[in-house]
Structure 1
Amino acid sequence: MASTRRRLFGLDRSGPKPRQTRRGEPLRPLTIPNLVGYARLAGIPVFLYLALRSGDGRTAAAFILFLAISAADYLDGLLARVTSQNSRMGALLDPVVDRLTILAGIVVTWKFELLPRWALAVLAVREMVTLVLAQLALRRGVDLEINWVGRWSVWLTMGGIFLALALDSWIGTGMFLVGLVGSLLASALYLKTGLAEARRD
C-alpha cells in the first residue's frame, strides 16, 4: 500500500516507464494530462505579456500565473498516474514545456535584473542546448529519462524564479543558484546516458 501511494504521488520512479510513453507508441494527444500540458504552454506567452509590461517584473498576476504553470508540472504527472492516461505525447510535451517555462522566467528576471545575470545566462544556454540535444536524441531513437537530479533542479529553478518575481529576497537567489548547479549536473548525467545508449545501438 505504501509503495503504491509513493508511485501514485511520483515519489517512487523505479521500474520501467509506462508502456504508453515509450518510443513507437501512439501519441494519444487528447488526454486529461495533456490538456493540462497544453494549458501550461498557452499560459507562457500570457505570463510574458503581463510581466514585461510591468514596471519591475513583479506583478501579482504574473507571478501567480508563473506559479500555476510551474505547479501544473506536477499536476499533469499526477493526473496521468491517477487516470492511467500516460501517453507518448505527454512524455515528449512535458520536458519541452518545462524548458520554455524556465526560459520565459529567465527573460523576465534578466530584463528587470531580479536574479544574477551571469547565472541566468548560464542557465539559458543550458536550457537551449538541452532542447537541441533532446531533439537530436529523439531523431536517433534515444529516449533520455529524466533523472532525480534533473527533476529536483527544475523545481528549485522554477521556485527561485517565482520567489524573485514575488519579492526581493536572497532566498530566491539561493534557491535559483542551487537549481542551476543541479541542472548542470543533470546535463552531465544526461550526456553520459545518451552516449551510452548511442553506443549500445
Structure 2
Amino acid sequence: MTGFEKVKNFVLTPNFMTISRIVAIPVIVILLMYDTKITTFIAAVLFSAASITDYLDGYLARTRGLVTKLGKILDPMADKLLVSSTLVMLVSLGFMQGWIACVIIGRELAVTGLRCVLIENGQDVAASWLGKYKTGFQIAAVIPLTLHYSYLGIEFNSIGQFFLYGALIFTLWSGLDYFIKARKFLSL
C-alpha cells in the first residue's frame, strides 16, 4: 500500500470525519466573527461540508464495519457542537432570535441526557425519523442563515427563517417523542 493510499484510507475513516467536524467549529466561529459576504460564504460552505461528513461517517461506519465506542460517543457530540456553536454565532450576529437557539440547544442537551439513561437501561438510542427530519431542517436553516446576504438576487435570510421554523417544530416534536417513548425509564 502506497503512502497516498494509507492517507486516503485514514481520511475515509468515520472517526477522522467526526474529528474534522469538531476541528471545523472554531474556524466557522472565527469566520462568522468577521461578518462579510466572503467570510459568511466560506463559513456556510465549511458548515455544509461538515454536515455532509455527518452522514458520510455513519454510512462508512455501518457499511465497512468500522463502528467504534469512540465514534458512538463522539459522533453525536460533534453534531451537537457544530450546530449549537453556529446557532450561538447566528444569534450574536442578529441573524436569528435567541429564544429559538435556546429551545434547539436545550432540546439537544435534554435528549442527550435521556439517551444516557436509555443506554444505562440497555435500550436502543438510534435516531428516529423525526430526529432525522429535525437534523435536516436544522442544517437547511443554518446554511442560508449563515449566508444571510442576498446572492444572485436570492434572499438567503428569508429561506433560512422558513427552515428555522420547520426545525423548531421538528425539534420540539422529536424531543417530546423521545421522552414519551422513554417515560417508563424516567421513574423518580
Shorter-chain TM band = 0.7 to 0.9
Q: Distance in 1 between matches of 2:112 and 2:67?
A: 22
1:14 is aligned to none
1:87 is aligned to 68
Q: Distance in 1 between matches of 2:59 and 2:108?
A: 24
Normalized against structure 1, the TM-score is what? 0.73
Give, as a single letter, the amino acid of the residue that structure 2 aligns with 1:179.
Answer: A
1:174 is aligned to 162
1:124 paired with 2:105, answer yes
Give, as a single letter, the amino acid of the residue that structure 1 aligns with 2:86.
Answer: G
The sequence identity of aligned pairs, in percent, is: 25
Counterpart contact for 1:156–1:179, Cα < 8 Å: yes
Distance 1:93 1:194, change over 3 A: farther
Listed as ranges, the gaps of 5+ residues in structure 2 are 1-11, 149-155
1:44 is aligned to 25
One of 38, 55, 67 as aligned partner of 2:35 = 55
Give, as a single letter, the amino acid of the residue that structure 1 aligns with 2:175.
Answer: S
Give, as a single letter, the amino acid of the residue that structure 1 aligns with 2:114.
Answer: L
Q: Distance in 1 between matches of 2:72 and 2:90?
A: 28
* Aligned-partner SS, 1:85: coil
1:190 is aligned to 178
Alpha-carbon deviation of 1:141? Answer: 4.4
Counterpart contact for 1:36–1:72, Cα < 8 Å: yes
2:6 is aligned to none
2:151 is aligned to none
Alpha-carbon deviation of 1:140? Answer: 4.8
Q: Distance in 1 between matches of 2:44 and 2:116?
A: 30
Structure with greater helix percent: 2
Counterpart contact for 1:99–1:131, Cα < 8 Å: no
Counterpart contact for 1:73–1:98, Cα < 8 Å: yes
2:131 is aligned to 150
Q: Distance in 2 between matches of 1:102 and 1:71?
A: 13
Listed as ranges, the gaps of 5+ residues in structure 1 are 1-30
Q: Distance in 1 between matches of 2:35 and 2:23?
A: 23
Alpha-carbon deviation of 1:37? Answer: 0.8
Counterpart contact for 2:111–2:178, Cα < 8 Å: no
Q: Distance in 1 between matches of 2:76 and 2:87?
A: 17
One of 62, 65, 77 as aligned partner of 1:96 = 77
CA RMSD, 1 decimal: 2.4
Alpha-carbon deviation of 1:112? Answer: 0.9
* Aligned-partner SS, 1:48: helix
Counterpart contact for 2:80–2:108, Cα < 8 Å: yes
Counterpart contact for 1:156–1:176, Cα < 8 Å: yes
